[in-house]
Structure 1
Amino acid sequence: MELRINNGQLELPGYRYITFLSKGSFIACFKAYDTKLEPVVLIISENQTELQNRIRISQLLIGVPGIQSFICLQQLQIIEDVEQLNQLYPKIFGKQSKVLIGPFYNQDMNTYLKDKTQQQKIELFRKILKVVQELHSRNIYHMDLKPSNIMMQDENPILIDFGNSVTEDEVETVLNTSAYAPKQDVYSCCITSEKFDIYCLGSMLHEILSSVPLHSSLQNNSRQFYQLQQHIGILATDLITGMTKFQQELRYTIEQCIKHPFFDNSNENELLQLDQYKNQISLNIQSKSQQNIFDQNKEHRKSGFIYGGSESIVYSYTDLHTPALKPNIHIQQNLSNNFSEFSQIQHVELSYE
């Protein structure tokens, strides 16, 4: 596909009225109209890895609602004024430049939310969580979630820009310096992909509800924590806190976010709702851990659940070599603050009946 520049205006066969939208480190985005005068977005880059990643992810997500699709990928042949193009858009145009063509969405999330009620904002965020849940269920992680990467189609969110997306549960590096990304994760040697997305979503929710960006992890019992509680309520504050924990493993999972009582719109006492929610998480962990703890140890048979509190769960195991003595091994495992993960076994006590 031949690309020309005429008085600073890009010209591309089959497209009219090409106007600049935005530029990243390796790409430039333009709006144009096709021969049917339908608006499209032109994503131009010389970075083959990023363009191919967008194509690869979009192919894995064909038919999934809430995901940007693409029409085609074309090689560009720059006819003239390459120097002028490079001055206008450095690192974008060259011999290897290609154009990725997709549908154009004329409204991003922040623009859409300007005249919306608090409940409408909450409902939109719940829809975004559902789309991200579908991504994660397919082992796809966006890694650059922010308001400008969430466009609107009628009342529904559309995720765009999968240039940084990965299909691995853990990665060593991520190219994300946005204000919504967890800085501690970016500089970590091992990044949990799901929890990286969760932090970005929590940071977005903080801005949606308080109109102020979240500059660092929200810590329990901090001054910022109590100020936010007074402003947006106990449930919203707990959800944001659970999504933006400093330690990746302590953050809520996407399923825990979706099931959070913040979205129930109930008239019940918020503290009671939160207590019931965390008790349910504790019971779910108990059920799963009964299948996992000591499965690798064939010397003992689990004989029952002893008790579970807000900080720990204790089990009893019977030594198979001395069943007549019926010894019990009490295994205590501490729970994280938001009950999303177990830590290592903290205490083992052997006793005999």
Structure 2
Amino acid sequence: MKIEYMNKELTIGQQYTNIVYVCKGSNLYCLKATHKTWGQCALLIANSAHEFQNRLNLYQKLENIENVQQIFEFSKLEIDASAKEYIQTYYANIFSDSSYLLSTKYYTCNIIQHLKTLQTQLQKVDCFKQLLLSVKKIHDLNIYHMDLKPSNLFVDSGTIILIDFGISVAVSTLEYVDNRSAYVPLSDICSGQINCQKFDVYCLGAMLMEMLTTQTPNSPISLYSQQHKQLAQLLNVSAADLLQGMLEPDQSKRYSISECLLHPFVLNQSEEEFFQFKLTRHFKIDHKFQTEMNKLSQENLQKAALEAQNPELNAFYYFLETMEQEPESSSCLVSNLINTEVEEKKMQYTMGKIKGFSSAILLSAIQTCNFDLEDLDISD
């Protein structure tokens, strides 16, 4: 395909006109042009055959996913003699004798602009759910974006579109990725062992935080950290939990895409369903085991306390007792526990009459004490 300069206008293949420079992306340049048939297009210009082939192969693997920028056509470019002087003056760094073109649809509404049109938090959460589903589709093909951020997300007729796969990979782990945007986990990069799926999850969590609070995280958010407590106060316990789970510094503990999609906040579920979700995820147990946990007798609890001699377990019983003596809604209790340090005197407890406990109470203990299931002896 020839690049020509005729009648004071640069054209490509005599089909693309009104060519305008847009930006430099990951390993290529982006131009905007008007095509005689397709209308406005984005022209991705690569200056190496290797980069061009890699990008083309990737897009061809993703061609059946509606949430990914689609390719109209691709070609090697040839600079016509009529255009050499003009290109040397205005496009010297963009076009060369080894340039290749990928033509795609040009999108005008990025996700930030789209969010401004949404009136409620529920609408924003629905938008985020679509984003999660979009990323899951590429993960299911073992492709990881590695550069998810607002400038790489557009909305076309209500559908989220992922663009710029310049540093995307088709491997599940990496030792290093060259990315320093405000939305990536630098702790992962410095670790020398990057879980690519969890890397994308962190980026999505950073964007969700911006969607809900207009702020991006300065660093990963640890469980029980001050920032986690502040999020619980600013939003609600369920939203804070999802954000913390996605922005968790430990990749092995960070939520997966599937867990995010099943999270009660994303599904707009009740507080009770949120408590059940937390209990199941923390212990990785099924409903039958939860039922058995809820049937524990006072004797079994007392036996566990005596054998474990664990101060965290003592604190757990303190909160069971508090819940029985001062009943209040589960959400208030959990919120208070997240935002309150356990004082040493509260470690002391008196075993009263404990009739059993609900998953909401158990969650309260989990979030406050972070005890392990191994500390409980539930044998008869």
1:205-224 equivalent positions in 2, closer than 5 A = 205-224=208-227
The answer to whether the 8 A contact 2:29-2:46 is kept is yes
* Cα separation, partners in 2 of 1:93 and 1:175, compared to 1, 3 Å: farther
* 1:46-88 Cα deviation digits (max 9, x unpaired): 1434332322122112222211110222111123566874675
Separation of aligned partners in 2, 1:248 and 1:228: 21
* Structure 1 residue identity aligned to 2:41: V
The answer to whether the 8 A contact 1:54-1:161 is kept is no
Separation of aligned partners in 1, 2:25 and 2:373: 47
1:158-307 equivalent positions in 2, closer than 5 A = 158-266=161-269, 268-269=270-271, 272-282=272-282, 285-286=284-285
The answer to whether the 8 A contact 1:2-1:76 is kept is yes
* Cα separation, partners in 2 of 1:106 and 1:182, compared to 1, 3 Å: same
Partner of residue 99 from structure 2, selected from 97, 100, 117 = 97
The answer to whether the 8 A contact 2:25-2:166 is kept is no
Residue 114 of structure 1 is matched in structure 2 by 116
1:4-153 equivalent positions in 2, closer than 5 A = 4=4, 10-12=10-12, 13-24=14-25, 26-36=27-37, 38-79=39-80, 85=87, 91-117=93-119, 118-153=121-156
Residue 316 of structure 2 is matched in structure 1 by none
* 1:219-251 Cα deviation digits (max 9, x unpaired): 222222222222222111111111111121110
- Return the TM-score normalized by structure 2: 0.70
* 1:198-239 Cα deviation digits (max 9, x unpaired): 010000101111111222111222222222222222111111
* Cα separation, partners in 2 of 1:212 and 1:86, compared to 1, 3 Å: farther
Separation of aligned partners in 2, 1:63 and 1:35: 25
Separation of aligned partners in 1, 2:69 and 2:139: 16
Separation of aligned partners in 2, 1:181 and 1:279: 29
Separation of aligned partners in 2, 1:75 and 1:258: 41
Query: How far apart are 1:8 and its partner, in Å?
Result: 9.4
Query: How far apart are 1:274 and its partner, in Å?
Result: 3.0
The answer to whether the 8 A contact 1:51-1:163 is kept is no
Equivalent residues, number: 294
* Cα separation, partners in 2 of 1:274 and 1:55, compared to 1, 3 Å: same
- Return the TM-score normalized by structure 1: 0.75
Separation of aligned partners in 2, 1:245 and 1:89: 44
Unaligned 5+ segments in structure 1 are 288-303, 310-338, 340-344, 348-353
* Cα separation, partners in 2 of 1:87 and 1:143, compared to 1, 3 Å: farther
* Cα separation, partners in 2 of 1:58 and 1:241, compared to 1, 3 Å: same
* Cα separation, partners in 2 of 1:156 and 1:141, compared to 1, 3 Å: same
SS of 2:71's partner is: coil
The answer to whether the 8 A contact 1:26-1:92 is kept is no
* Structure 1 residue identity aligned to 2:164: D
Answer 1 or 2: which has greater helix percent. 2
Residue 2 of structure 1 is matched in structure 2 by 2
Query: How far apart are 1:126 and its partner, in Å?
Result: 0.1
Query: How far apart are 1:115 and its partner, in Å?
Result: 2.2
* Structural RMSD (CA): 3.0
- Between the two proteins, what is the percent identity of the paired residues? 34
* Structure 1 residue identity aligned to 2:97: K
Answer 1 or 2: which has greater strand percent. 1
Instruction: Select the structure of larger CA radius of gyration.
Output: 2
* Structure 1 residue identity aligned to 2:275: D
* Structure 2 residue identity aligned to 1:92: I
Unaligned 5+ segments in structure 2 are 295-365, 367-371, 375-380
Query: How far apart are 1:166 and its partner, in Å?
Result: 1.1
Query: How far apart are 1:44 and its partner, in Å?
Result: 0.8
**Greater Cα offset, 198-207 or 112-121:** 112-121
Query: How far apart are 1:4 and its partner, in Å?
Result: 4.1
Separation of aligned partners in 2, 1:66 and 1:281: 29
The answer to whether the 8 A contact 2:9-2:17 is kept is no
Query: How far apart are 1:273 and its partner, in Å?
Result: 3.5
* Structure 1 residue identity aligned to 2:108: N
Residue 329 of structure 1 is matched in structure 2 by none
The answer to whether the 8 A contact 1:46-1:98 is kept is yes
